[in-house]
A and B are shown apart, each in its own frame.
Chain A
Amino acid sequence: DTEVTQTPKHLVMGMTNKKSLKCEQHMGHRAMYWYKQKAKKPPELMFVYSYEKLSINESVPSRFSPECPNSSLLNLHLHALQPEDSALYLCASSQDGTGGHSPLHFGNGTRLTVT
């Protein structure tokens, strides 16, 4: 079982809907990440939070809005998505939040379908 928990596992939403993806870890990790993975492609970095502050935003459209309420939780708010945004959204965490080298631990992802 993964120690990074993502909910929901599956989500179908229309282009006018507003929804949120949730991620939780209780390993005391100080960095949390959102990745997007399309079929047969590697995960692509979207956002990085380090010590609860957004440190990297990889030019992601504003229809994706991350939020880090505390050190254990990470949300991704979705609004006015397009069908091409359909993908597996992966959350990850790592122990080091200041550039240290520690592995990222991934959740099992939310499979998002935009209709």
Chain B
Amino acid sequence: DQQVKQNSPSLSVQEGRISILNCDYTNSMFDYFLWYKKYPAEGPTFLISISSIKDKNEDGRFTVFLNKSAKHLSLHIVPSQPGDSAVYFCAALPYSGGGADGLTFGKGTHLIIQP
């Protein structure tokens, strides 16, 4: 049972426009969410995160929105640039009283920025 879902395997966006990547989760214990970007033959690179006490977090061209009632988050990239072409993973961490926990990842969305 997938606890973090990215239902769009791929997304094509024109350079300069907004890219919106979506993610849904089912586990109510998740309270910290992260987006990672991955190029081929490299490890995932951390992009941006959001805690469940917030509904928006912004860092330059990247903004993450969280809708807790809908168990949905989205990553907005604006303006989209060719270097943004990569696979984007949504990931979540549960509230934990002790001991480190590993991330639960979605299956990823392959973003393609077209010139």
Q: How many A-B residue pairs have CB under 8 A?
A: 78
Interface digits, A102-115 against B, CB 8 Å rule (1 contact, 0 not)?
Answer: 01111111010000
Q: Is the CB of A42 within 8 A of B93?
A: no
Which residues of chain A (53-81) have a CB below 8 Å from chain B?
Answer: 55-56, 58
Residue of A with least CB distance to B45: A106
Chain B interface size range: 20 to 34
Q: In chain A, residues 24-45, which have Cβ atoms closer than 8 Å to a Cβ of chain B?
A: 30-31, 33, 35, 41-45
**Cβ-defined contact, A99 with B103, below 8 A:** no
B62 at the A/B interface (Cβ < 8 Å)?
Answer: no
Task: Please tell me if A85 contacts chain B, counting CB pairs below 8 Å.
Answer: no
Question: Do A103 and B96 have beta carbons less than 8 Å apart?
Answer: no
Interchain CB contact under 8 A, A2 and B43: yes
Q: Which residue of B lies closest to A96 (CB)?
A: B100
Q: Is B80 an interface residue (CB 8 A)?
A: no
Q: Is the CB of A94 within 8 A of B49?
A: no
B59-115, CB < 8 A from A: 89, 93, 95-108
Instruction: Select which of B46, B51, B100 is within 8 A of A98 by beta carbon.
Output: B100
Question: Which chain A positions have C-beta within 8 A of B108?
Answer: 42
Partner of A108, one of B43, B99, B103: B43
When distances are taken between beta carbons in the complex, the residues of chain B under 8 Å from A4 are 43
Is A103 in contact with B107, judged by CB distance below 8 angstroms? no
Interface hub of B31, B44, B89 (most chain A Cβ within 10 A): B44
Q: List 26 A-B contacts (CB under 8 A).
A: A4-B43, A31-B100, A33-B102, A42-B105, A42-B106, A42-B107, A43-B44, A45-B102, A45-B104, A48-B101, A55-B99, A56-B100, A56-B101, A58-B102, A90-B43, A90-B44, A98-B98, A98-B100, A99-B97, A101-B51, A101-B93, A104-B103, A105-B46, A108-B41, A108-B43, A109-B42
